[in-house]
Structure 1
Amino acid sequence: MNLTEHFTLAEMTISETAVRQGIDNTPSLAVIDNLKLTAATLEQIRTLVGKPIIVTSGYRSPAVNKAVGGASNSAHVLGLAADINVPGYTPKALANLIKDSGIQFDQLILEFDRWVHVGLAAGKLRNQLLTIRTGTGYMSGIV
């Protein structure tokens, strides 16, 4: 099932952890609606970079989220987040490009200099910029 032109439901729900541990990662209809919003934001980023985006983590059921050590209030559980990479861009360069583009988000997080988390929210979007360098917490801004 296509959520948008370039993003499928399968791509936004795939989880190696779920497969390995036999955890059901099937989203509800409400979560699928949220995934469509997330995929629409990813389409904007795809247009910005002019290249395909690799989604490394999209929707996570509560059980999958717990298994991967995700935050209990993670937007991934609602289908409102994706961790992404783009070939040819460092995660930092990608995060800065998104930050400066005018694309709306709730949280844009450069995580461990390995991927970029793009999070949305059901309410007002905060356009919050964060960086995680270690497992000890967040730093404000993309650094």
Structure 2
Amino acid sequence: MPDPVRTYRHFREVPDHLWRWPNFSPAEIACRGTGQIKLHPEALDKLQALRERLGKPLIVRSAYRSPEHNRAVGGATRSKHLDGTAFDIAMANHDPAAFEAAAREVGFLGFGFYPRSGFIHVDLGPARQWGERFPIRATAFAAETPPARESLAESRTLKGGGAAGVATLGAAGVEVAQGVLAETQTAVLPLVPYLDTLRWVFIAVALGGIAVAILARIDDWRRGRR
């Protein structure tokens, strides 16, 4: 035997033991204008089943409406909201097509589409529908995977250029150091000839690095990496 439909003057009066829909609260289902609530177990069971099927929260814009609130918002005189068997659900976090399919699967029969207001009305029936369906949302396609490229840290061009830059800076630094040391005390003058040799070593490394960079860039062009 189906559970009876119960009406309460305010949603705070609903006994805890009667509320068995874990993803919703009496305040969400109550009339927005008066706080009154009508518990329609069959409708709420389908709403809970829809929530579980979709796996996402359902934002209830409107559920039960008291007669006075229904008149105030311009609802139909025989609106299913008056029976507690209708729900207006926001589509902000749902694909409308997927939502409609899931709602039909759990047993909702009446559908109203309000794309401009961003919600879909569902109720227990009879089977009917009205309004203009939501536009189909574009499917996001995965971007084409670009050809594999060496990372900057591993690029031979970068390595060659880096070696050349370091060696060039080293040679310049040695030259500066040599000039400074030449002007210092005579105690360090014996180091100057060795620094001159070190400068030429750095210059040789710089030239080698430049050559590696040029060859690597030519090879990259051949392989289509740039």
TM-score by length of 2: 0.45
- Counting helix residues as a fraction of each chain, which structure ranks higher? 2
Which one of 8, 12, 28 corresponds to residue 25 of structure 2? 8
Once residues 90 and 81 of structure 1 are traced to their aligned partners in structure 2, the CA distance between those partners, rounded to angstroms, is 20
Which one of 82, 85, 97 corresponds to residue 90 of structure 2? 85
Residue in structure 1 matched with residue 127 of structure 2 by the alignment: 127
TM-score by length of 1: 0.68
Is 1:50 the counterpart of 2:55 in the alignment?
yes
Residues 51 and 43 from structure 1, CA distance in 2 versus in 1: closer, same or farther, beyond 3 angstroms? same
Residue in structure 2 matched with residue 26 of structure 1 by the alignment: 36
CA displacement at 1:25 relative to structure 2: 3.8
Residue in structure 2 matched with residue 117 of structure 1 by the alignment: 121
Higher relative contact order (CA 8 A, sep 6+): 1
Larger Rg: 2
SS of the residue corresponding to residue 73 of structure 1 reads: coil
Once residues 81 and 88 of structure 1 are traced to their aligned partners in structure 2, the CA distance between those partners, rounded to angstroms, is 20
Q: What RMSD, in angstroms, separates the aligned Cα atoms of the two structures?
A: 2.5
CA displacement at 1:26 relative to structure 2: 1.3
Once residues 105 and 59 of structure 1 are traced to their aligned partners in structure 2, the CA distance between those partners, rounded to angstroms, is 16
Once residues 102 and 36 of structure 2 are traced to their aligned partners in structure 1, the CA distance between those partners, rounded to angstroms, is 32
Once residues 47 and 72 of structure 2 are traced to their aligned partners in structure 1, the CA distance between those partners, rounded to angstroms, is 25
Percent of aligned positions with the same letter in both sequences? 28
Residue in structure 1 matched with residue 107 of structure 2 by the alignment: 104
Residue in structure 2 matched with residue 137 of structure 1 by the alignment: none
Residues 91 and 14 from structure 1, CA distance in 2 versus in 1: closer, same or farther, beyond 3 angstroms? farther
Structure 1 outlier segments of 4+, above 6 Å: none
- Counting strand residues as a fraction of each chain, which structure ranks higher? 1
Count of equivalent residues: 117
Instruction: For residues 64-106 of structure 1, give each alpha carbon's deviation from its aligned partner in whole angstroms, at most 9, with x where no partner exists.
Output: 000011000001011111101254324344224433xx22123
